Every structure is written in C-alpha cells, then in structure tokens.
Amino acid sequence: MRGTSDFWIKLWGVRGTVPCPGPATRRFGGNTACVEARCGPHRLILDAGTGLRVLGNAMAAADGRRHRAHILLTHTHLDHVLGLPFFKPAYEADNCFELWAGHLRPRGRSLQEVLCRLMESPYFPVPLDIMHACIGFHDFEAGEVLEPFPNVRVRTAPLIHPGGATAYRVEYGGRAVCYVTDTEHPERGHDERVLELIAGAQLVVYDCTYTDAEMPRFRGWGHSTWEEGLRLCEVAGAERLVTFHHDPERDDTQLDHIDAELAARRPGSCVGREGMVLEP
C-alpha cells in the first residue's frame, strides 16, 4: 500500500527498546523504529530498527528494481539499528544506500566505525563490508540542514537522550513531516529546539513511550509522553500528532485507549501502528 499523493510516510516499526511480537501487540505491531518517507521518486528511511527487515523484504520482492535510499538515523542504540544486518537490499550490488547520523561526531566517533562494531565477531557472524550495495556514511552535527535529494530539504535538531539523538524535519512540496523520537521533555516548559523544528508541520511523529502519570518514574531515561506531544503540537501550530516508540509493555488495548483520547483532543491525531500510511 502507498499514499495517493507524491509525499507520504509508512510506519514499518513503531516500538521502542526491544521488539515485542506476540498476541498482545498484534494489531499495533512489535517491530522497533523504522519509518519510510517517499518524496516523489525519492526514498528516505528514518531509523533502522527491526521494522527495516520488513521494509527490506518488500523492496527485495520488487523484481528488477534498483533501489536507492538515504537512511537517517536518530542514534545508534540497538533498537534503532538492529534491522540493518537483516536488510536484504543492502546485499545486492545494484543498490545504493547512504547512512547519516548527527550524534556521533561531537563524541569523536564515526557512524561507519560504530556500525562495523555492530557487525563483527562475537556480536554478529559476518562483517559490514559483506554488504555489496554501494554504501556511504555521513557524519554531521545535529542542527545542520541536509539536502539528500533535489527539492528534498531535511532540517535537524539535537534531542535530549543518553548519548545524544537527532530529530528530522523532512520538507517536500511545501509540506513537512517531523520525526522526533528518543527525547525527554523538560519538567517545566518545552524543548525550544523541538518547538522550532515542528512549527507549522503537517505531521509530527513523536516519542510517546510514557504517559504523564508514568513520567516521574522514568526521568533521565530519555523519553517523553503522548500528552507532551499534544502540548508541543498545540504551541508549535503543528497539525497532527502520531505517537511512536511505544513502550514494549504497552499492549493493544492500552494503545486503543490512548488512540481514542488523541482523536478526541486533537482530531486527525492517532497512535502509530505498523503498516500505517500517512500523508502530510
């Protein structure tokens, strides 16, 4: 399934922390973070959690097609990169992928170095360079503006998360989708960098791991709440909120309740679920 316009996103993985397949998560999904964004003929992939494996299988099934995409990582915690070794298109020489990260350079690390460590013994049986696709690595500092394709502009911002993370605002055709996950909002007020990034956006995919009631127990863990997502959208004049990075302990029934509350408080907003296609 795809969108009917030339700008749309599809959610391939919506969980945080760890994959959680099973009967209790069947409807909303148990794969970790991965969102596909299509901007006309161009493909961006936001994060490489276990949802990337499912996306890769769909791409590999498109016989005779060569694939090119830019993969924008919020950060390199395992739940956001674990799908990369199982991304089938990366093993085909005709394909081309460029990976970006904005949290490592200030710490003197490189993305290529970190991903090589992910795919080396004793953690994984084959090395990164067994991927035969043309693969490029780009390190930047959160706050820079990227232009991965013609007429596709990606603004970035640093997030409050252990080890750092990066938010993305994808602009195409006069519309904007924001991807803001793995961030902790301040106890008072709002994160001004997030407000600036999402201002006037049509769609905001936001880290809603917790609820406001749960948040005091998880200060310092680097995550936020669906209620804060609503408040940010209200202040920034963003149109629709899509909750994301669901706690793996949050089952489908609990997410149903949040979904109903979102629809009542900000029509058009919803709980993100695997397979969902959204147009800004």
How would DSSP label each residue in 78-113?
A: HHHHTTGGG-GGGG-TT-EEEEEESSSGGGT--HHH
Q: Is the pLDDT of residue 102 over 70?
A: yes
Write out pLDDT tens, residues 113-166: 999 999 999 999 999 999 999 999 999 999 999 999 999 999 999 999 999 999
Confidence of residue 62 (pLDDT cuts 50, 70, 90): confident
Angle at 18 between CA 15 and CA 22, to 5 degrees: 75
Copy the structure tokens of residue 242: 């899509």
pLDDT at 1: 43
SS3 115: helix
Contact partners, residue 174, CB within 8 Å, separation at least 6? none
Inter-residue contact 99 to 115 (CB < 8 Å) = yes
Share of residues in the chain with pLDDT > 90 (%) = 95
Q: Is the pLDDT of residue 2 over 90?
A: no
pLDDT at 107: 86
List the single range of 3-7, 81-85, 176-180, 229-233 with lowest mean pLDDT.
3-7
The length of the chain in residues reads: 280
- State the Cα–Cα distance between residues 52 and 44, nearest whole angstrom: 12
State pTM to two decimals.
0.97
Confidence of residue 63 (pLDDT cuts 50, 70, 90): low
Write out pLDDT tens, residues 213-265: 999 999 999 999 999 999 999 999 999 999 999 999 999 999 999 999 999 99
Mean of all residue pLDDT scores within the chain:
96
pLDDT at 106: 85
CA dihedral 38, 5, 237, 49 (to 10 degrees): -30
- State the Cα–Cα distance between residues 247 and 250, nearest whole angstrom: 5
E strands along the chain, which residues?
7-13, 34-39, 42-46, 68-73, 96-101, 134-139, 145-149, 152-159, 165-172, 175-180, 203-207, 240-244, 270-271, 277-278
Q: Would you give the end-to-end CA distance of the chain in angstroms?
A: 16
- Other C-beta atoms lying within 10 Å of the C-beta of residue 159: 26
- State the Cα–Cα distance between residues 265 and 94, nearest whole angstrom: 47
**Overall fold of domain 7-278:** Metallo-beta-lactamase; Chain A (3.60.15)
- State the Cα–Cα distance between residues 26 and 28, nearest whole angstrom: 6
Nearest Cα neighbor of 200 from 234, 152, 167 is 234
Q: Please state the rounded mean pLDDT for residues 19-28.
A: 98
Write out pLDDT tens, residues 167-197: 999 999 999 999 999 999 999 999 999 999 9
